[in-house]
Structure 1
Amino acid sequence: MTAQLSDTAAPPAALPGCATVARMLGASPAGTAADMRCWLLIEQPGPWTADALEKLLDEAFPAERRELLENLRRSHGLRPLLIRRPGKHQRDPERPRSVYVGGGEPGNRWLERLEIRDLSELAELDLQAVADGAGGLGTRVRGPLFLVCTHGTKDMCCAVLGRPLASTLDTNHPGRAWEVSHVGGDRWAGNLLVVPDGFLHGQLNPAEAALVAKSALRGQVEPEQLRGRTSAPTAWSQFAEIAIRRQTSLSGLDDVVAVREEPLPESDARVVTVRGGDDFYSVTVRRRSAPPRGESRCAGLVQPAGYVTENIAQL
């Protein structure tokens, strides 16, 4: 049942976390995945500060390489993230770091692993090859990997709700589970990113995360609590793809792909053409005009943007 939270001010300590508020509001994570078409995953054991990723990148990359990384993030969706093994976060200076590079575009999903002993080695990576999906930088990895956001200094909900997911996945799938730095959308914790599949899931409990992982190992996608395909061009396309997956029960990674998107004149809706199996569908998606809102202790006012499916027609 959807709950409407009071706007009456309350002491921050007495307020629920943002992820709890989103659930109480009945908010759906569909259509909220961040743009991540390819990845640079850097193992960083130990505790993470809120700006741990930025500090590591500043240390690892000279200014011109750092600028290239930011440019490729904007133009190609190259997303750098920190990863660490679930459990106690301790640094072992004698052990090399794992680094994963890969891409999640339909038809060209790939993942490679390499080891480094010093962060300066990252500056030698061919970032353009990662962005272009060329690979050839390390040893091929047969995915998937399960990345659970536990970045508590970014938002406590990610740590509180994410760590049980990471623990469960590590127990069920040793070597495949990692904790990951902020992937966006702390209000959707627990967040699980599957790479190189490129699907981000939210509002998961450990049992639901186990189901997502089980499906991913079969090359399938669970549509419930799916935030979206991270390589989809827009949130509208993400939402339309999820709508078609739910309607058709198509579950393969590339079974459902948005191929075109057009705004409706004088409207806040868009028409997305989606290929679903051998068929094509026209999906009209409208932004929810008045999303509910509520106060939380960790993110202030929570007012999740949302979308609704106005019409689905087979073409």
Structure 2
Amino acid sequence: MPAFRALRTLVRSLTTTARPTSELVGTAPPHQCYIFLHTPQPPSEYPAKYATPVQRALLLRTAKWGGSVNFAWSEDQQSIRARPPGEEDKQEYHLTAFAHPLGKLEATVSMDNIEEVEEQLRMHVEGVSGATSSNLDDVHLYVCTHGARDCRCGDIGGAVAQAVRDELRKRRDADPSDPSTCIKLAEVAHVGGHKYAANLLVYPHGEWLGEVEPEDVPEILDAILALPARPRNTDEIPICPRHWRGRMGLSKDEQIQLLQRTYS
């Protein structure tokens, strides 16, 4: 275990309160919609700075109304083969997006239809019913494992992602109808806050968790499964307060105030 992980584990073992550290709360970047572009390669293979023409163009459009665009990978999610070097502007992506109040939306985006997709996403954020995906009861977990960006994400993030896989497999082997069958795991590129690794994003709830260790996984899964699979309202108490960085739809100050109300 690296020295910083050992130190953090020691500090946590000496702390009896479930309250998160003051620097953790309010660090989830404010956003109204989070958009994941599916890639055929995992974040462990991404370069330190990873961007593509479609991702940049979609971010430029959606950032105006609170959208954020990232890359994600999993063994289970549908992805489109990467275009060869020099043809990145022709790349097409399957995407999964989450917003309040409608939850999940899926689409396929390229430079050819980016304006149409941006409009579809904007309407989704505004609560206008659109082409939402099936399996709306699914819970999607995204762990940052972008090791080339920061070794902590590759180290702790990778260990947490594997711990989630192992725990889900254990539960499903014991009971094929276990509630955890609704959980889908993916790995994601840089989300900000390397020092809070491992970072775990929970959607459609919109919760951002940090300082997650592999041993925290069973407790976190239980907390998630105890709640309905929908975006959390602005006044609902945080999931796993000790790890809580913030929530989709809340500003930094609103995140801090919500946590303060939780403990008042």
Task: Name the TM-score, length of structure 2 as normaliser.
Answer: 0.68
* CA distance 1:190–1:121, shift in 2 (3 Å): farther
* Partner SS state of residue 69, structure 2: strand
How far apart, CA to CA, are the structure 1 residues paired with 2:129 and 2:210?
Answer: 29
Instruction: Kindly state the Cα deviation for residue 177 of structure 1 after the two structures are TM-superposed.
Output: 0.5
Q: How does 1:150-169 map to 2 (within 5 A)?
A: 150-169=145-164
Where in structure 2 are the equivalents of 1:63-142 lying within 5 Å?
Answer: 66=57, 69-73=59-63, 75-85=64-74, 93=81, 98-103=94-99, 105=100, 108-114=101-107, 116=108, 119-120=110-111, 123=114, 125-132=116-123, 133=125, 134=128, 136-140=130-134, 141-142=136-137
List runs of 5+ in structure 2 lacking aligned partners: 13-20, 83-91, 169-179, 229-238
Partner of 1:203: 211
Matched-pair contact (CA < 8 Å) for 1:170–1:176: no
CA distance in structure 1 between the partners assigned to 2:220 and 2:113 by the alignment: 32
If you compute each CA radius of gyration, which structure gives the higher value, 1 or 2? 1
1:83 is paired with a residue whose SS is strand
In structure 2, the residue matched to 1:6 is none
> Which of 51, 69, 78 is the equivalent residue of 2:49?
51
Aligned-pair identity (%):
20
d(CA) in 2 for partners of 1:20, 1:120: 46
Deviation at 1:101, TM superposition (A): 1.7
CA distance change for structure 1 residues 143 and 203 in 2, over 3 Å: closer, same or farther? same
CA contact (8 A) 1:86 1:167 kept: no
- 2:103 counterpart SS class: strand
Q: Aligned equivalents of 2:214 and 2:113: distance in 1?
A: 34
Q: Give 1 or 2: higher helix fraction.
A: 2
- SS state at 1:35 partner: coil
Q: Counterparts of 2:111 and 2:62 in 1: how far apart (Å)?
A: 19
For residues 129 and 146 of structure 2, the distance between their equivalents in structure 1, rounded to whole angstroms, comes to 28
In 2, are the aligned partners of 1:145 and 1:194 still within 8 Å (CA)? yes
Q: For residue 151 of structure 2, what is the amino acid of its counterpart? A: M
Q: SS state of the match for residue 163, structure 1?
A: helix
Q: Between Structure 1 and Structure 2, which shows a larger proportion of strand residues?
A: 1
Question: How far apart in 2 are the matches of 1:25 and 1:214?
Answer: 24
Distance 1:92 1:113 in 2: 14
Contact 2:197-2:211 within 8 A present in 1 as well: yes
Compute the RMSD of aligned alpha carbons.
Answer: 3.3
Find 1:181's aligned residue among 177, 183, 189. 189
- Asked whether the 8 Å contact 2:80–2:93 carries over to 1, the reply is no
SS of the residue corresponding to residue 102 of structure 1 reads: strand
Cα distance per residue 1:259-281 (max 9 Å; x no partner): xxxxxxxxxxxxxxxxxxxxxxx
Q: Decide whether the 8 Å contact of 2:33 with 2:248 is kept in 1.
A: no
TM-score of the superposition, structure 1-length normalised?
0.58
Does the residue aligned with 2:224 lie in a helix, a strand or coil? helix
